[in-house]
Amino acid sequence: MAARREPSDVIAIIGGGVCGLAIGWRLAQAGRAVTVFERGEAGLGATWAAAGMLAPQVEAEPSEEPLLSLALESRAMWPDFARELEEASGISIDYRTEGTIVVAHDRDDVERLRFQYDFQRQLGLDLEWIPGSEARRREPHLARSVTAAVFSPLDHQVDNRKLARALSAAFTGAGGELREHTEVLEILADGDHVTGVRFAAQRLGRRSLAADAVVLAAGVWSRDIGGLPQALRPPVRPVKGQMLAVQMPPGAPLLSHVVWGPAIYLVPRSDGRLLVGATVEEKGFDTTLTAGGVLDLLREAWETLPGIYDLPLVETWVGLRPGSRDDAPILGATDLGGLIMATGHHRNGILLAPLTGRAIADLLIGGATPESIAPFSLARFAPKSGAAAKPAPSASRLEPVAER
Ligand code: FAD
Ligand code: GLY
């Protein structure tokens, strides 16, 4: 365990995505001197590419129960988080609560959906099995081929792009420093504790900032930051997602709920855009939009919602989900004193933002790992036996960071 150090109040956060900004906002609110380093513009990484679904229930999969409890805890925080953020930033983030409908067309789909529904109900989730006719009553533009559906009233959505803008405004409004176009080149350490970061900024050139804690929230780029010891490189990889948007008629949206088809989801925005997502591809850092990707999305979307056929296609994009080895986030202290992980949020970074912000800020302020994130430390990936195995840092305490 790292030796005790004098508490200080300087925190550097690497990455101005939803995770870095949410953590920064909570720390700035608590009076800490916190700088978010963003090599481009804040909120334009995976955060910008997402669909903004807050959907732990319909995304719950067997063997992911620990992730589900984290996600449910974060979802419960969303209504207050949204209200507080809108007040603090003056920016509406379009948090919508109509809920989510998952539809099935043919016999295969229905069997699969029934299996998933039974599993999710066993976990105590609030879901309703409805016939196709009832799904169409709730969403009249759904295809006639929809024969059964599951309604999830508590799986909501938010406009993730507005969310990022609001978080940036709330963070700087609370006194945080946002350094855009500033790339962190290296995490600095004096052996057993971080001492700051070295960065490159336009016009300023290469500089460093002394800091007592460094939060690694660089999304899919988290493992490539200089100065990270090999054993502390988080096992995060890019999981490519292609998406597109069509424009619904003004004042006559085709959908009001988020709708999942067998291989796509449809997310209606209040400005009339309808998002169609997303592919899930293992292609490294490739961000090419492909004909096949768009074809699959459009075909599947059309089968569920035939009315999209005549709508103008207004945007296509590609994002990289920061996937970890077990698809759950990597959160908390590490064996290097003052180095905190907040990465690997994969398909759930928007959903997990309120919890990530609160838990990592609490860890930095109070010094103890909040119980909810203890199972998600980097240490879970350490070799299980042999000399290289290390104790879980979640059991250790961090030095508290003093009030400014
Ligand atoms: P990012 O948003 O990628 O931010 C990391 C930032 O770090 C970037 O801005 C980058 O420029 C910066 N950075 C990197 N290296 C450096 C450096 N050296 N110095 C300074 N800055 C650096 N999640 C949901 O909850 N719901 C959804 O519906 C959903 N849909 C998705 C759909 C798609 C197609 C994709 C791709 C993702 C989706 N996600 C969704 C996942 C979600 O987008 C991510 O989990 C989340 O945005 C991760 O946030 P982040 O802050 O960790 O990463
Ligand atoms: N959570 C939706 C996605 O990652 O595509």
Tell me the CATH number at 261: 3.30.9.10
Does 241 share its domain with 316?
yes
Chosen domain end from 322, 357, 382? 322
Query: Which pLDDT does position 203 carry in this prediction?
Result: 77
Atom of ligand 2 nearest to the CA of 350: 1
Which residue CA neighbors atom 3 of ligand 2 most closely? 347
Does 126 share its domain with 177?
no
With beta carbons less than 8 A apart as the criterion, state whether 210 and 196 touch: yes
Q: CB count, 10 Å around CB of 61? A: 12
The verdict on residue 309 lying in a domain is yes
Does 317 share its domain with 210?
no
Instruction: Give tens-digit pLDDT for 288-326.
Output: 999 999 999 999 999 999 999 999 999 999 999 999 999
Query: Phi then psi for 27, rounded to 5 degrees?
Result: -70, -45
Does 350 share its domain with 380?
yes
Q: If you measure from the C-alpha of residue 322 to the centroid of ligand 1, how many angstroms do you get, rounded to a whole number?
A: 7
Does 228 share its domain with 105?
no
Does 331 share its domain with 228?
yes
Atom of ligand 1 nearest to the CA of 349: 45
Instruction: Give tens-digit pLDDT for 91-138.
Output: 999 999 999 999 999 999 999 999 999 999 999 999 999 999 999 999
pLDDT above 90 (res 399): no
The verdict on residue 91 lying in a domain is no
Query: Which pLDDT does position 201 carry in this prediction?
Result: 85
E strands present in 235-294: 236-247, 258-260, 265-268, 273-277
Q: If you measure from the C-alpha of residue 53 to the centroid of ligand 2, how many angstroms do you get, rounded to a whole number?
A: 8
Does 188 share its domain with 254?
no
Q: In CATH, what number is assigned to the domain containing residue 378?
A: 3.50.50.60
Residue at token pair 């732990």:
56
3-state DSSP helix/strand/coil percent for the chain, to nearest 5?
35, 25, 40
Does 255 share its domain with 310?
yes
Query: Which pLDDT does position 386 carry in this prediction?
Result: 58
Q: Is the CB of 236 under 6 A from ligand 1?
A: no
Range(s) of the domain holding residue 253? 97-155+237-322
Q: If you measure from the C-alpha of residue 212 to the centroid of ligand 2, how many angstroms do you get, rounded to a whole number?
A: 34
Band the pLDDT of 389: cuts 50, 70, 90: very low
DSSP state of 20: H
Atom of ligand 1 nearest to the CA of 41: 9
Does 284 share its domain with 390?
no
Does 357 share its domain with 212?
yes
